Amino acid sequence: MPENGAVSEARHLLVLPDRDAAEEAAEALGERFGLAEEPQLVRDALAGEDDAEDAQWLLVVEDAAGRLDAGALDAFAAEWDGWREEP
């Protein structure tokens, strides 16, 4: 069976404090970085919290070509008081 070592799929996870920030960041992310696919928006409830307000919002960014710079994504997420999680 041939190995597929030439293709490497990267995924970046940006953590944002609320839905509004996540939606704004998702729109700006595509424009700034010229993404082919729109980032996936996911609600992540904090452990042990039942209140819908106590949630972080995640932007899942597919980067199959591996062309997105981690430092640039860190700075981008910080503009919305968020951060990038390491894989």
76: domain CATH number is 3.30.70.3450
The reply to whether 22 falls in a domain is: yes
pLDDT tens series, the chain, 87 aa: 444 444 446 899 999 999 999 999 999 998 999 988 889 999 987 555 555 556 789 999 999 888 899 999 999 999 999 999 986
Domain that holds residue 60: 10-85
Which tokens in the block code for residue 6?
């030439």
Cα(15)–Cα(20) distance, rounded to whole angstroms? 13
